[in-house]
Amino acid sequence: MPAHSPKTIDYQIDCALLDDHVIQGTVTATWRNQSDAPTSELWWHVYNNAFAARDSVFLTEAHRMQHRGGLLPAEFGGTEIQAVRLLGLGRIDFDTRPPLPWNWVAQAEAADDRTVFKADLPGPVEPGQSVVIQVEFQARMIPAYRRNGWGSDDYLHAAQWYPKLGVFEELDGGMQWNCPPYHLLVEFYADYADFIVRLTLPERIHGNVVASGEQRAEAETLPDGHTRHTFYAEDVHDFAWTVDPQARILEREWNEADYRDVAEEQKVAAALGLPVEEVRPDSAVRMILLLQPEDAEYEERYFTAIGKSLYYYGLWYGAYPYPTITCVDPANDAGRTGGMEYPRLFTAGVRRGGAPLSLSPEGVTVHEFGHQYWYGLVGTDEFRHAWMDEGFCTFSTQRLLRKAYPAAWATYTVLGRQRYGRAPLAWPAATPGDPRAMLSLARLELPSLGQLPARSVELWRSDGLQRFLAEMPPASYWPQVRQDSVYGMRRSYRTDFYQPMDTPSLALFEEDLRGVNTYRRPALTLETMARLMGEERWIRTLRAYHQRYRYGHPRPRDWFAVVREFASGARVGADLPGGGVPIVWQNFWDQAYHGNELIDFGVHRVVNLPHLVRDEAAPGGVREADGLWDIHIELRRFGAFEVPVVVEATFADGTVSRRVWDGRESTWAWRQLGSDQRVAQVVVDPDRVLVLDRNWLNNSRLVDLNQDFAIRAGLRALLWAQSVLHYFGGVG
């Protein structure tokens, strides 16, 4: 595992926060050509210009996909590039700092987009050489909109606020700058760098600032009352900061002994063949929390979630290498800056009135911290392969939540406070085109009749009081619905998977698919792979991948090469007679990643038929044998995905038998003739190994049905429906 990054860039940024949320700054960047090809140009991202005008690529796509209903920023902002100068090229330093020609790069999606510019150099930067360039800029930040911006009382979260170099790398068969415009459905990608950032703040901020790096000396007070803060951050690929004079900045030293999980340490150590002392994380880390005063009740929960994240991620993948980690609790009128990751700093967020067992803010804190490992330390190309960041992070998040916390309880909200429970039926919709809206009389839905087109007419719109009254008595709710963190990801199956996972993130067809193909589908795929190969192999596989590509830019082929290396030899049903069926990982990957096949195994038929024996004295010469049965278990592969699966049969006397189906054919039968026991139940994939199986409802079949639960559930649903009808009868 490398101790440091390649340090492709050195950034020195001198900037000042002015009035009206404007940042005036100068970026001095030293870029080292660590490739084997020369380049005579430098490409830069100016992400903040996504919000400069409605015709940017970002806002054009937001309009087309109706992101947040097509809502535009409350104000436009943007970044002005004021000067671009050359300070050095190769062995030559330029004292006169000559200006460089540069131009905005036109985009096919939006010709007037200003999120990428290209600077032309007077000569090539040869392999092994460096270039020093200076960019003066002025960035006007917008009200909190997407990942960055400001709120009331001088809260400002500055992300993607400075011009930032793209990545010069092999792409599409040749060396080029990987520097696309800011798209709606992607995030960020950059080379590793060392940062020195000198930030001057107005006196009214009171020095309340946190950032991606650490301050190694006290802030300097200037004659005009402003304060200058100098931050250092090494081996990172971005830099963000937050100011908020109203917030509290709290600090604690992390101590791994407060979170120790002896059983997990022993499991990881055994899988790696190492002493426990070598896998236990014990680095010195200072935890920093910027906390809103009204969220004081969440202080301990924030710090505990950060501490557990440092422990488990460090145990599984390797120690966190930086001296600080900072969590920002956003201002309540700037919540859209929450839930986002940056190196050594992340934003979380919590809603007041949250119930403790809802795992808020724990869920978002664990996830955004996880990006320190998946995005921060393993820096994948999120323009094309965002799943390698979000998917690995989502997988790790759900594993940590399941390990370190009890299962979250479902909640509903009344008068701003969360209550535990979930209605047995969904609230009748008021969405155009949804016939359920008729149940609440919220809309009148008329189908197309001959020459008359379909109509959807809003009859009334509920207000806050009506929504409160619509919350029925607690008796109509399941009081304790526990939401398993891993299995909860299966809600993705409500969405049609019509683009395969290898679709570049830039080319996803709609916003819903980002949540599926970038987050939950890859996480479910990783969970399925882990269960197929077994925990020991999986621990070795994922740790090797992280440590091999720490401070690197891996691609999908790199991940799968590690899988082939560490997961070979895995078999489904290896503990069963015959040794089970081997997993062909190339076939699995071709289907799960490159293809768009779905896993869906199910029970087609289970019957116990009387066993027939010859008896010349019986009518027809055949009779039913006493106490013997012919068992017919018939299964189907409803999806196209081929993978081995275990099948379990439970017999009337309680004995259990298992077999392995290789999953290649569309049907498979398990027949047992002349059995002295009837089969009582059949379960496909009893250990829930195939988390990717789209429909678990068809995985099991009871021969003799137990209707007690169905009756209880039906009565509860009827009570809920009766309450709704009573309420709306009163409204009418």
The answer on pLDDT for 316 being more than 90 is: yes
Rounded to whole angstroms, what are the CA distances from 447 to 143, 433, 451, 466? Answer: 42, 9, 11, 28
The answer on pLDDT for 41 being more than 90 is: yes
CB-CB neighbours of 528 under 10 Å:
20
535's tokens:
């925990």
Q: What is the pLDDT of residue 387?
A: 96
The answer on pLDDT for 416 being more than 70 is: no
Tally the residues of the chain: 732
DSSP 711: H
Q: How many Å apart are CA 542 and CA 388, to the nearest integer?
A: 12
Whole domain around residue 608: which residue ranges?
A: 601-698
Q: Are 445 and 438 in contact (CB under 8 A)?
A: yes
What is the mean predicted confidence (pLDDT) over 595-599? 92
Mean pLDDT estimate for the chain = 90
Tell me the backbone φ, ψ of residue 660, rounded to 5 degrees: -115, 130
- Bridge partners for 365 per DSSP: none
Q: How many Å apart are CA 597 and CA 640, to the nearest integer?
A: 5
The answer on pLDDT for 465 being more than 80 is: no
Q: Are 541 and 567 in contact (CB under 8 A)?
A: yes
Rounded to whole angstroms, what are the CA distances from 371 to 133, 313, 390, 573? Answer: 30, 10, 8, 35
Tell me the backbone φ, ψ of residue 151, rounded to 5 degrees: -125, -160
Q: How many Å apart are CA 273 and CA 271, to the nearest integer?
A: 6
Q: How many Å apart are CA 31 and CA 38, to the nearest integer?
A: 13
Q: How many Å apart are CA 448 and CA 517, to the nearest integer?
A: 35
Q: What is the pLDDT of residue 557?
A: 96
Q: How many Å apart are CA 284 and CA 478, to the nearest integer?
A: 45
Q: What is the pLDDT of residue 727?
A: 58
Q: How many Å apart are CA 663 and CA 637, to the nearest integer?
A: 7
Residue 81 CA, distance from chain mean position: 33
Q: What is the pLDDT of residue 95?
A: 77
* Within-domain flag for 445: no
Q: How many Å apart are CA 16 and CA 14, to the nearest integer?
A: 7
pLDDT above 90 as % of the chain? 73
Task: Look at residues 219, 243, 267 and tell me which one is the last residue of a structural domain.
Answer: 243
Q: How many Å apart are CA 80 and CA 78, to the nearest integer?
A: 7
* Maximum pairwise Cα distance, the chain: 116
The per-residue pLDDT for range 198-221, each reduced to its tens digit, is 999 999 999 999 999 999 999 999
3-class secondary-structure state, position 43: strand
Q: What is the pLDDT of residue 427?
A: 47
Q: Where are the beta strands (DSSP E) in 477-592?
A: 482-483, 571-572, 581-582
The answer on pLDDT for 714 being more than 80 is: no
The answer on pLDDT for 709 being more than 70 is: no
Tell me the backbone φ, ψ of residue 264, rounded to 5 degrees: -70, -40
Q: Are 648 and 688 in contact (CB under 8 A)?
A: no
Q: How many Å apart are CA 657 and CA 169, to the nearest integer?
A: 54
Q: What is the pLDDT of residue 71?
A: 83
For 280-299, b where at least 16 C-beta lie within 10 A, e where not — what string?
Answer: bbeeebebbbbbbeebeebe
Q: What is the pLDDT of residue 320?
A: 97
> Structure pTM?
0.88
Residue 301 CA, distance from chain mean position: 21
- Bridge partners for 456 per DSSP: 445
The per-residue pLDDT for range 655-680, each reduced to its tens digit, is 999 999 999 999 999 999 999 999 99
Write down the residue that tokens 């087609």 correspond to. Answer: 604
The answer on pLDDT for 354 being more than 90 is: no
What is the mean predicted confidence (pLDDT) over 641-649? 97
Q: Are 686 and 593 in contact (CB under 8 A)?
A: no
600's tokens:
């869906």
The per-residue pLDDT for range 142-192, each reduced to its tens digit, is 999 989 999 999 999 999 999 999 999 999 899 999 999 999 999 999 999
The answer on pLDDT for 481 being more than 90 is: no
Of 732 and 282, the structure prediction assigns the larger pLDDT to: 282
Q: Which residues lie below 8 Å from residue 77, measured CB to CB, with a gap of 6+?
A: 21, 48, 51, 52, 139, 140, 141, 142
Q: Which residues lie below 8 Å from residue 99, measured CB to CB, with a gap of 6+?
A: 83, 84, 85, 86
What is the mean predicted confidence (pLDDT) over 252-257? 97
Q: What is the pLDDT of residue 405?
A: 92
- Bridge partners for 631 per DSSP: 608, 672
* Within-domain flag for 252: no
* Within-domain flag for 365: no
698's tokens:
């068809």
What is the mean predicted confidence (pLDDT) over 386-410? 93
Tell me which of 113-117, 163-167, 235-239, 485-489 is least confident: 485-489
Rounded to whole angstroms, what are the CA distances from 634 to 170, 363, 660, 665, 715? Answer: 51, 41, 13, 12, 34
* Within-domain flag for 348: no
Q: How many Å apart are CA 17 and CA 517, to the nearest integer?
A: 38
* Within-domain flag for 41: yes
Task: Look at residues 193, 211, 243 and tell me which one is the last residue of a structural domain.
Answer: 243
Task: Look at residues 194, 225, 243 and tell me which one is the last residue of a structural domain.
Answer: 243
* Within-domain flag for 38: yes
**Which string of DSSP letters, residue by residue, matches 665-698?**
SSEEEEEEEEESS-EEEEEESTT---TTBS-GGG
* Within-domain flag for 578: no
Q: Which residues lie below 8 Å from residue 710, measured CB to CB, with a gap of 6+?
A: none
DSSP alpha helix (H) spans, 405-534: 464-469, 511-513, 521-533
Number of domains in the chain: 2
* Within-domain flag for 389: no
The answer on pLDDT for 437 being more than 50 is: no
241's tokens:
């900061």
- Taking alpha carbons only, the member of 206, 89, 227, 226 closest to residue 153 is 206
DSSP 218: P
**Torsion angle defined by CA atoms of residues 53, 55, 57 and 62, in that order, rounded to the nearest 10 degrees:** 90
Say if strands 286-291 and 324-328 run parallel, antiparallel, or are unpaired. Answer: parallel
CATH code for the domain of 99: 2.60.40.1730
